[in-house]
Amino acid sequence: MAEEPTVDPQSLERLLLGRWAQTRLTTRATLTDEQFHSVPGLTLHEHRQRVRDQLQGLVTAGAVHRAFPRRFGGSEAPGANIAAFEELVTADPSLQIKAGVQFGLFGAAVQQLGSTHHHERWLPGIMDLSIPGAFAMTEMGHGSDVSSLGTTATYDVDTEEFIIHTPFTAATKRFLGNAAEDAKDAVVFAQLITRGVNHGVHCFYVHIRDDDGEPLPGITITDDGLKGGLNGVDNGRFRFDHVRIPRDYLLNRYADVDADGTYSSAISSPGRRFFTMLGTLVQGRVSLSGSASAAAKLALIGAVTYGNARRQFHATSSTQEEVLLDYQLHQRRLIPRLAATLAISFAHEKLLAKLDDVLSGRDDSEENRQELETLAAAVKPIATWHAVETLQAAREACGGAGYMAENRLTSLRADLDIWVTFEGDNHVLLQLVAKRLLTDYAAEFADADVAAMANYVASTAGSAVMHRFGLRRTLQSVQDTGDERRSANWFKQTTVQRSLLSSRVRQMVADLAGELRHATKLSSTERAAVFNAHQSELIEAAKAHADLLLWESFTEALSQVDDAGTAEVLTWLRDLYALTRVEANLSWYLCHGRISAQRARTLGPYINRLLARLRPHVQDVVDAFGYQPEHLRMELTTEAEAQRQHEAEEYYRRLRASAQAPVEERIVLAKRAA
């Protein structure tokens, strides 16, 4: 019998810390200080004040300036900056978002979209918090559709000023962090109009409050008040009534307006210019993916640790109750989510490396920027949805204990709820991914010769016939007849998993391309109708693509593991991730002839056996996440439950050994019946 593998938590922790391990460890050490910890039950005012003080504490500790230029005290290290930022979610998500607004949105917009004179004028104050700011992009009427913002910035050639104006209520800037109380200035996204031409959305620097904290003339500020979460952040609204700003307050890295109103840009295409300007701010989506992964890890540490200590019901013994994590259903609730968390963590590390390449200038080619945008748009939705679902599953798995504020699961769930819609609504982002997949699919054959096209058509036709008429399924069934182990073993092969995940993406994109190929010849109204009729398929294709990305990232990470036992357990977790994704979409695989009915029947039982195999190792895996008690701050993760269980066991052991032990009624009734 083969020796049971063991996980080396230290080896796994090093792998999970990734390229910016020291940065993460340094930030975690900073966050052990209780001044940065969330406090449940604060009033709105108290929470906002605490987070305001915490943010100043981070500035004092030098913990938030890594992305800024060295001449201002930064490190010009965008990847390290995001790695540190992600860890803030363990302290208080409100602190993380407050820091993200100030440095990752407001400050980054000035840095990434402004010129040298903007940097010299404003970055030092942004960095030391003497210029608290807001990022005024989202409007009441437009969130994800940034190109349709209603706010205008009209150039007045006589005064050489832009006039910032809110022409209707729906153009009011809303949901803006820092806006309700703290922002002194803001970066405002508006339609740039000069010489009667609208050049689309650009970014402008606008003063919002005077030195006494009062709104400047023409600016109306409204407090958004209490929210469903993140109440340490002072979200609010801005409305502008013909507010004038100097011409050089246009952040002009990519476009400028001369004194006479002449517009110029090195990027001739309005569409490409717009996406280039927004692309510099992609770090927000990247940071959400990482912080969502960190929140999921906190939830799993709590639920797994508690599940290993908490006992419930007598199933195999009349004197000792069962450990929760020994129940198959409990394993089903938690271990697949652990596998997905690891997959997301590895995918995020790749995403973060690409962001660092782009923003550091090592590889900021147009192609690499587009790849970064697409990868971020694929990973962010999956990571944020997963975090919210995992926090809820962990809460339920811990019963009433999970509902207590002291265990943070409910507060984290409330705070992270907004993750799925800010920095881009998840469904909108997935549509961007699907469109990119269709574009890449079409580009494959842009320069193909007749022979290549003929070979592709022939191979596709042959494959389609095999699937459509069930020939492949029949072949699988014949191969597997009378041997369920053969069916199950087929699923654990790396090549099979890759084929199942990749072929699904390929088929879905090909089917969509076929459905949409004639749309370019239609009117805009007809094109929109065709696109809308296939919107659900677009989203599903993008999700399938994300499944493949995560699996590939997990598989690549396995090659970096030196410890044999850790590698084996991680391989099981990689297999679990792949097979639960196949199981979730089993109807598609059956309908498209990719899996035979016999193999499909073995999938669920095989996953259950895999869960049982993994069960002894999951505590070691979550321990390898590396968070200390000061980061967790959950009674669930302490020895308290184990001590309670031990006390109960000792009580009943002594009672059974004593002469005072009461006799159970069922025994009395059984004797009477005899």
Angle at 423 between CA 17 and CA 60, to 5 degrees: 55
Q: Which residues of 622-661 are buried (b: 16+ CB within 10 A; e: fewer)?
A: bbbbbbeebbbbbbbbeeebeeebeeeeeeeeeeeeeeee
Summarize pLDDT for 513-555 with one digit per residue, the tens: 888 888 878 888 988 898 889 999 999 999 999 999 999 999 9
Residue numbers of the domain that contains 572: 283-623
23 and 155 belong to one structural domain: no
Q: Are 412 and 230 in contact (CB under 8 A)?
A: no
At 466, the pLDDT band (50, 70, 90 cuts) reads: very low
Question: Count of CB atoms within 10 A of residue 504's CB?
Answer: 23
Judge whether residue 316 has pLDDT over 90.
no
Angle at 240 between CA 237 and CA 242, to 5 degrees: 180
Greatest alpha-carbon pair distance for the chain in Å reads 108
- Three-state SS for 230? coil
Judge whether residue 603 has pLDDT over 80.
yes
Give the integer Cα–Cα distance in Å for 414 and 227.
9
Residue 631 lies in a domain: no
Residue 665 lies in a domain: no
At 478, the pLDDT band (50, 70, 90 cuts) reads: very low
**Higher pLDDT, residue 528 or 74:** 74
Summarize pLDDT for 383-441 with one digit per residue, the tens: 999 999 999 999 999 999 999 999 999 999 999 999 999 888 999 999 999 999 988 88
Q: Are 469 and 591 in contact (CB under 8 A)?
A: no
411 and 495 belong to one structural domain: yes
Residue 581 lies in a domain: yes
Mean pLDDT, range 315-340, rounded to an integer = 90
Backbone angles phi, psi at 155, to 5 degrees: -80, 130
Mean pLDDT, range 30-49, rounded to an integer = 96
520 and 617 belong to one structural domain: yes
Domain stop point among 69, 93, 128 = 128
Residue 225 lies in a domain: yes
Which H/E stretch holds residue 193? strand 185-194
At 489, the pLDDT band (50, 70, 90 cuts) reads: confident
527 and 459 belong to one structural domain: yes
Mean pLDDT, range 341-347, rounded to an integer = 98
Summarize pLDDT for 85-117 with one digit per residue, the tens: 999 999 999 999 999 999 999 999 999 999 999
What does pTM read for this prediction? 0.92
243 and 369 belong to one structural domain: no
Q: What is the pLDDT of residue 223?
A: 98
Q: What is the pLDDT of residue 484?
A: 55
Judge whether residue 482 has pLDDT over 90.
no
Q: What is the pLDDT of residue 218?
A: 98
Mean pLDDT, all residues of the chain: 91
Q: What is the pLDDT of residue 470?
A: 45
DSSP labels for 509-567?
A: HHHHHHHHTTGGGS-HHHHHHHHHHTHHHHHHHHHHHHHHHHHHHHHHHHTT---HHHH
Q: What is the pLDDT of residue 465?
A: 45
Task: Work out whether strand 152-156 and strand 185-194 pair parallel, antiparallel, or are unpaired.
Answer: parallel
90 and 143 belong to one structural domain: no
Domain stop point among 578, 598, 623 = 623
Q: What is the pLDDT of residue 433?
A: 94
Give the integer Cα–Cα distance in Å for 11 and 565.
10
Mean pLDDT, range 221-243, rounded to an integer = 97
Distance, C-alpha 536 to centroid of its chain: 21
**Domains: count for the chain:** 3
Judge whether residue 479 has pLDDT over 60.
no
101 and 150 belong to one structural domain: no
Residue 45 lies in a domain: yes
Of the CA atoms within 13 Å of residue 613, those in its CB half-sphere come to 18
486 and 360 belong to one structural domain: yes
Summarize pLDDT for 296-312 with one digit per residue, the tens: 999 999 999 999 998 88
224 and 297 belong to one structural domain: no
Residue 133 lies in a domain: no
Q: What is the pLDDT of residue 95?
A: 98
Of the CA atoms within 13 Å of residue 11, those in its CB half-sphere come to 15
523 and 391 belong to one structural domain: yes
306 and 448 belong to one structural domain: yes
Please state which of the ranges 80-89, 195-204, 365-374 shows the lowest mean pLDDT. 365-374
The domain that holds 326 is classified in CATH as: 1.20.140.10
Residue 2 lies in a domain: no
Q: Cβ contacts of residue 270 below 8 Å, gap of 6+?
A: 199, 200
Q: What is the pLDDT of residue 445?
A: 54
Domain stop point among 605, 623, 641 = 623
**Higher pLDDT, residue 517 or 232:** 232
Summarize pLDDT for 575-597 with one digit per residue, the tens: 999 999 999 999 999 999 999 99
Q: pLDDT > 90: what percent of the chain?
A: 76
Reduced DSSP (H G I as helix, E B as strand, rest coil) percent helix, strand, coil of the chain, to 5:
65, 10, 25
Q: pLDDT > 70: what percent of the chain?
A: 93
Residue 323 lies in a domain: yes
Judge whether residue 9 has pLDDT over 50.
yes
Please state which of the ranges 23-32, 132-141, 236-245, 530-539 shows the lowest mean pLDDT. 530-539
At 665, the pLDDT band (50, 70, 90 cuts) reads: confident
292 and 418 belong to one structural domain: yes
The domain that holds 194 is classified in CATH as: 2.40.110.10
Judge whether residue 462 has pLDDT over 50.
no
Q: Cβ contacts of residue 516 below 8 Å, gap of 6+?
A: 438, 530, 531, 534
Mean pLDDT, range 624-645, rounded to an integer = 95
Alpha helices in 61-170 (DSSP H): 78-87, 93-99, 107-113, 116-128
Q: What is the pLDDT of residue 612?
A: 96
User: Which long-range contacts (C-beta less than 8 Å, at least 24 apart) are formed by 494-502?
Assistant: 494/555, 497/551, 497/575, 497/578, 497/579, 497/582, 498/551, 498/552, 498/555, 500/578, 500/582, 500/589, 500/594, 500/595, 501/544, 501/547, 501/548, 501/551, 501/578, 501/581, 501/582, 502/548
Mean pLDDT, range 613-622, rounded to an integer = 97
